[in-house]
Amino acid sequence: MGSQDDIVDGQYHLVRRLGGGAMGEVNLAHDLNLDRQVAVKRLYPHIAEREEGRYRDRFEREARTTAGLGRSRHFPQVHAFGRHGGEPYLVMEFIEGPTLAQLVTRHHPLTFSAITAILGQLATALAWLHDADLVHRDLKPSNIMIAPGGVLKVVDLGVVAISDPHATRLTATGHVPGTVAYMAPEQADTGLTEPRSDLYSTGCVVFELVTGELPFDAPTAHAMARCHIDQAPRRTADVRPQTPVWLAEVIDQLLHKDPDLRPRDARALYETLRPHLAALPLPGCPELGDFDPTLPWAHPCSPPPQPQKSAPYVRRRRGSGLDALARRQARQADLRRNDLTQVRAEADELAADGDLRGAIQLIEQCLKNAVGRFGRIEPGVVRLRIDRAGLLHEEGLSKDARFAYDDVRSDAVRAFGEGSSEVREIDGGIEGCEEDATRD
């Protein structure tokens, strides 16, 4: 990436390397214009060229996602995003504190007050994330930091995904994003994720904070994945008997194989923790100094208010498509193949009325259930996925549309044949996305 004396874009003087991973590295930098410390993240040059720009798109997605979560103190603040030497860079808040991995290494065993405070803050952060219809997919101790003042920060949103059944295709073909030691069974098995997948990962993280060990012990990544899918995790109380009963029960619930047996959502987890957070001594962990995670509980530190989502006003003929979606969600288990055709018709009506976003949401909600019920190459499912790609393109989201077209093409060939009208429609959509990219 160049020497540590580099100045990025004439403004950010790189001071020293803070860390790195498979995709790129993060450097501490001095913002010459505003005279402050920042963190600058950049891709490795060889990574930027792989997968026809797929890693650049993921990097840009991280920038947009992190910036969009800026109202919450539990995510790094984004200061700038740009290009230097043709490659993207991201300038973020510099967090001067340890990761949870470092914290547990230095101070294990953590007190139960510290662990309770960490879990409460993590539930709060996930409520913000999931309210934005996002799933992190890679929660682990090294992606969670404690900033001065004890505030927890969730970092590395590079594989965060919209909560839909196509999230895994944002990475290289055949690769499931995430870290296998903390991966939910459904993610390890199928690559599909939902908000409760993050809750399972939270269970793995907190199990490690409590016990100093992982829920499973396996010699390889594949073996670890099979453990998440097939084996019951060790009970928290069996590994660390001193664990408070309520905390052991919460962790064990988070680690259920069946998402329906985990907490309903991050707010439900927070409500379970509420009485124990209220009882925290403040400060509760003076041995951690300024990185005491109980400190934020001296002031309100809770999930944001439940979002009140209202549908935009659009003209309707034959009733509301969103009302139809609500009815369908209430009977998802009874979804039939004929329903897929009806969803396409309702989405087409919404789009004709100018509500492209409503049409996209209608299709995405149906696909959440339809993919698991009928499979990715069911003709009705494939047609819905093609429609979704076209609507994304029409909405002006060319990059997301290109991902969607690339994702569905091979399945369309299997379902309809290489020379089919469906595949020709996909190829036309891909060509349109490429023309948009050239104009940009």
Q: What is the DSSP letter of 99?
A: B
Q: Which residues belong to the active site?
A: 138
Distance CA 207, CA 234 (A): 10
Contact (Cβ atoms closer than 8 angstroms) between residue 178 and residue 138: yes
Which helix (H) or strand (E) segment holds residue 38: the answer is strand 36-43
Contact (Cβ atoms closer than 8 angstroms) between residue 339 and residue 366: yes
CA distances from 129 to 94, 122, 292, 400, 408 (A): 20, 10, 23, 19, 27
Distance CA 421, CA 440 (A): 29
Residue among 56, 90, 129, 87 at smallest CA distance from 402: 56
Structure tokens at 77: 């603040």
Contact (Cβ atoms closer than 8 angstroms) between residue 91 and residue 81: yes
Structure tokens at 308: 């009140």
**Is 140 annotated as a binding-site member?**
no
The sign of the CA dihedral 331, 332, 337, 343 is positive
Structure tokens at 181: 């030691």
Structure tokens at 385: 């996925």
Distance CA 254, CA 206 (A): 10
Structure tokens at 110: 């953590």
Q: What is the DSSP string of 101-151?
A: HHHHHHHPSPPHHHHHHHHHHHHHHHHHHHHTTEE-S---GGGEEE-TTS-
- Binding-site residues, in ranges, read 41
- Binding-site residues for ATP, in ranges, read 41
